Chains A and B, each alone.
Chain A
Amino acid sequence: MNKILFSSISKKFVMALAGLFLLMFLPVHLVINFLLLKSDPVPFNKAAHFMATFPLVKIMEVALIGVILIHITWGIYLQIQNWLARPVGYVSGNKSETSFFSRFMIWTGASVLTFLVMHFFNFYFVKLGLVAGNPEDFYTLAHKLFKIPAYNYIYLVCFSLLGFHLYHAFSSAFQTIGLNHRLWTPVVKVVALIYAIALPAGFAFISISLWLFR
């Protein structure tokens, strides 16, 4: 049983499924974040309250945390195995033509993780009561954070790197679960490109709007 669960293909399969689950969560978060652009704090706070209290969402939250942890730990585990598979590198480097962003997945992933930790301290731990703050007014909290230039710099860099991560992750996940098709794979790659640009651009738009135009 262990051989099946821990085979290289199974590990990649788990990574891909976890990644696809996370891909579905991001647009939901973005739609809610767009409510920050309203001058009225009530819609955003209501949405945040709904997300924090609705039972089905609470179940999804547990699943989401679990999936994030699986994606991170499996990703690090796989990367360590990959490094160990080539203990001596090439002096002349690797000049093979590859998908550019695929070479840096561990590092773009690490930057997303860094942001995630910051995000948890700023919001999620406030909701859990572990960090001081008003969990019923995330609107004001978010607006205050987006007035700090350094926060915006980090935010924009991390979301750009998230875009790089998503671009490879999207099409790679389909390949890993065995869905490669002569006609559909090029379509998946185009959708991946649109997704990888649109999602971070949406988050960046909110950040820049609140930072410079409010």
Chain B
Amino acid sequence: MNLTLKIWRQKNAGTKGSFATYRMDDVSPEMSFLEMLDALNKKLVEEDKYPVAFDHDCREGICGSCGMYINGHPHGPVPAITTCHLSMRYFKEGDTIWIEPWRAKPFPVIKDLIVDRTAFDKIQIAGGFISVNAGAAPEANSILVEKKKSDDAFDSAICIGCGACVAACKNASAMLFVSAKISQFALLPQGRIEAKERVRAMIEKMDEAGFGNCSNTGACEAECPKQIKLTNIARLNREYFKAY
């Protein structure tokens, strides 16, 4: 199929960017979205032009690197997948595809479609861990965990920190990400020990970074490639109140 791509090009963080238009002919519907961008970059290099810079790593939907905003949706218009899993079969002959970087003050554009997501790392470093003495693996059944809580903790832990929640939220809020990182520990006995310090530190870091405030629109949940639930945000709020 033949497509028109409108891609955000920005030389570096200090320069102003703009959209560039590229024509892509004979795109196979079997290609993934990133393979289509690879093909574009090959063409650009052959024409002695700068390739489009975009983040990618595992291409298996688990690293969270390949964040880009495609036709009004983070990771594209297909729910519950990352950009690397987005197939070109979801597009039609003659489509114009708009590709933009995540837009949020705490995620400044580094180059083209790559944004700096250090703000997420800082939140994680502030409290997204449990302190344990490293040693031999403990006996698995010495601390029993209710099945429902174990499942919920796992469902929160699968957040890949891609930033789609921030990108989708009209307020650029990071609440879904932080709530998932809080919930994965808050639900387990091992995570309760530092629960108060964790939630205080992570919220403080989130606010410092300049993310917006959650207004419960639900866009984050709708666009999350790992389907992290809004119930995590209510849990985060409860954890925060309990911490004071």
Residues of A within 8 A of B (CB): 3-4, 7-13, 78, 81-82, 84-99, 102-103, 105, 168, 171-172, 175-180, 182
Contacts and interface: CB of A to CB of B under 8 A. Distances in A.
Interface in B230-244: 230-231, 233-238, 240-241, 244
Contact of A99 (B72, B172, B218, B235): B218
A13 to B, nearest CB: 7
Interface stretch (B84-92, B98-106, B137-145, B153-161): B98-106
B112 interface: no
A163 to B, nearest CB: 18
Interface of B: 6, 19, 69-74, 77, 98, 100, 103-106, 168, 170-173, 175, 203-204, 206-207, 210-219, 222-223, 230-231, 233-238, 240-241, 244
A84 B72 contact: no
Given A94-B168, A172-B215, A86 B105 contact: yes
B218 A90 contact: no
Given A84-B105, A180-B231, A93 B215 contact: no
A178 B241 contact: yes
Query: Most chain-B Cβ atoms within 10 A of its Cβ — which of A7, A13, A105, A177?
Result: A7
B75 to A, nearest CB: 11
A172 B70 CA distance: 29
B67 to A, nearest CB: 13
Given A82-B212, A103-B217, A175-B216, A96 B103 contact: no
Return the 4 tightest CB-CB contacts between A and B, nearest first: A180-B234, A95-B72, A85-B212, A178-B238
Query: Most chain-A Cβ atoms within 10 A of its Cβ — which of B170, B203, B223?
Result: B170
A96 B214 contact: no
